[in-house]
Amino acid sequence: MKKEKDPPKHLWAPWRMSYITGIDTKKDEGCIFCSKPRQDRSRDKDNLLLYRGKTCFVLMNLFPYNNGHLMVIPYKHTSDILDIDSETSAELWGLICGSKRALDSVMHPDGFNIGMNVGRTAGAGIDQHIHIHIVPRWNGDTNFMPVVGETKVISQALSDTYDALSPHFSS
């Protein structure tokens, strides 16, 4: 007796269409970590910019590894961590801790990956401007999709994540 195949399962992600078609994804001229905070504050949500400090800012990752993937970035354009002063280092660390607190409060992850890739060889996608990644992790978030299907499932729209996190940041 022939067994019926399971019907195909569908992953519905309509917000990805603008990326696929290239609509609203024009390349920024120069360094995005320099251009985003220079834009008017009224564009912060569109730019996924959560917080503007004196020497650093917090930005959501446009292509996140997981829901809530944040980056803390100094305004100073440099690829060398030794080029930032003590005031910037202090604010950078404070924003890393504040970002973790916000993510704990809103998303309740089981753990975090917090770190940076310095240089293209080390895995930096944008290697000319240092930035710290804060990636919330949950038990079981690495399942068959990324391992077998080479597809990462982001289960919440970036705008919804922004709205949930923004009350925890004030600038």
Residue 161 placed within a domain: yes
Structural domain of 44: 31-168
Residue 26 placed within a domain: no
In the chain, DSSP finds a helix count (H) and a strand count (E) of 6, 5
Under DSSP, the state recorded for 144 is H
Residue 1 placed within a domain: no
Distance CA(114)–CA(134), nearest Å, equals 5
For residues 113-135, one letter each, b for 16 or more C-beta atoms within 10 angstroms of the residue's C-beta and e for the rest, the string is ebeebeeeeeebeeeebbbbbbb
Residue 5 placed within a domain: no
Residue 126 maps to which CATH number?
A: 3.30.428.10
Residue 18 placed within a domain: no
Around Cβ 88, how many Cβ atoms within 10 Å?
Answer: 18
In the chain, how many domains are there? 1
Residue 24 placed within a domain: no
Residue 13 placed within a domain: no
* Average model confidence (pLDDT) across the chain: 83
- Closest C-alpha among 153, 160, 117, 166 to residue 9: 153
Both structure tokens of 156: 């919440």
Residue 35 in contact with residue 28, Cβ under 8 Å?
yes
- The pLDDT value recorded for residue 19 is 52
Answer yes or no: is pLDDT of 147 > 60. Answer: no
For residues 61-84, average pLDDT: 93
Distance CA(63)–CA(50), nearest Å, equals 16
Contacts within 8 Å (CB) and 24+ apart, 6-10:
none
* pLDDT tens digits, 133-146: 999 998 876 654 44
pTM of the prediction? 0.76
3-state class (DSSP) for residue 106: helix
Residue 10 placed within a domain: no
| Residues with catalytic roles | 131
Answer yes or no: is pLDDT of 149 > 80. Answer: no
For residues 93-110, average pLDDT: 96
Residue 168 in contact with residue 74, Cβ under 8 Å?
no
Q: 53: pLDDT confidence band, cut at 50, 70 and 90? A: very high
